[in-house]
Amino acid sequence: MTIAIRCVDIDDIIVKVHEFFIGFINVEDTSGLGLFKRLEDVLIELHLNIDDIRGQGYDNGSNMKEKHDQIGRIEAKGLWMYTLEDFEFLISLCIWYKLLDKVNHVSKLLQQEYMEIDDAITRLKELIIYFENVRECGFEDLMEEARTLARKVGIDPVFVQKRVSRRSKKFDEGVNDYAHGNQSLEDKFRITYFLRIIDQALTSLRDRFEQLERFEELFEFLFNGNSKVLVKSN
C-alpha cells in the first residue's frame, strides 16, 4: 500500500499545501478493515492523531468482494457524479481556478528571497486591480467559459433551483435581505457567491497593501541611492 500525506499550512496569510510521500507499506489483509488497521499502525508510528486527518485510500478494488464496501462505493460514486454534473459546481471551479492561478503567481514572486518592498507593493497593487476588473466585468467571461466546458462534458449549462429551507424573518432583517428573491438563479449566484468571494479577497489584499505601505513609510529613512528595503515573506 502506498501512503502519501498532504498537509495544509495555515500559519501565514497565504495558505500553502505540501505533500509528502511516506513510502510503501506491506499489507497482509487487503479488506477495508485490514487496510484501516495497517494505516492506523502507520499513523501511530508517525505520531499523527487520526482525529486530525482527512484522507483518501485506494486498494485496487479488492474490497468490492465485501457487500457493505460495494454499497458504500456505489453511493459515493453517485454523489460524486451528481456533484460533477451540476453546472453551479462547474462554474465554481472555473472561478476558483482563475483567481487562485493569479494569486499563486503573485505569491511566488513575493516569496523570492530578494523581493524589495516597493516591488512587493507594486505586485499587490496589480493584483488588487486585477480582482477589481474581474469583479466589474469578469463574471460573464467566466460564465461563457463554464458553458463551453459544460457542453464539452455533456452538462446542461443552466442553474438548477435547489430546495431552500424556509425560516421566519428576524426582527432585525430588512427588505434588502430578501431582495434577491425575485432575481434569476444566475444573478443570485453572482451576488451570493461570486461577488462575496471577490469582495473578501479584495479586503484581505487591501489590508496587506496598506500594511506594506506603512512599512515603506516607516523605513524610508533607510533608503539611499544604492539600497532597498527587502520584504521577507514567510
pLDDT at site 130: 94
* pTM of the shown model: 0.52
Domain residue extents for the chain:
2-84, 87-160+177-222
Cα 120 to chain centroid distance, Å, stands at: 23
Q: Beta-strand (E) ranges in the chain?
A: 2-9, 16-24
The gap between the terminal CA atoms of the chain, to the nearest Å, is 35
Q: Which residue has the cell 438548477?
A: 160
Contact by Cβ (8 Å): 18, 76:
no
With a pLDDT cut of 90, the percent of the chain lying above it is 14
- Return the SS3 of 164: coil
| 35-56 per-residue burial string, b: 16 or more CB within 10 A, e: under 16 | beebbeeebeeeeeeeeeeeee
pLDDT at site 75: 53
> Torsions phi, psi of 159, nearest 5?
-80, 140
58-104 pLDDT, tens per residue?
555 545 445 455 555 555 555 555 556 678 888 888 899 989 999 99
Residue 159 has pLDDT above 70, yes or no: yes
Q: Which residue has the cell 481556478?
A: 97
165-208 pLDDT, tens per residue?
555 555 555 545 444 556 788 898 999 999 999 999 999 889 88
Give CA–CA dist 20/6, Å, rounded. Answer: 6
Cα diameter, the chain: 75
Report the 10 Å Cβ neighbour count for 91. 25
pLDDT at site 141: 92
Contact by Cβ (8 Å): 158, 87:
yes
Closest CA to 106 of 141, 130, 135, 139: 130
- Return the SS3 of 144: helix
Residue type at 198?
I
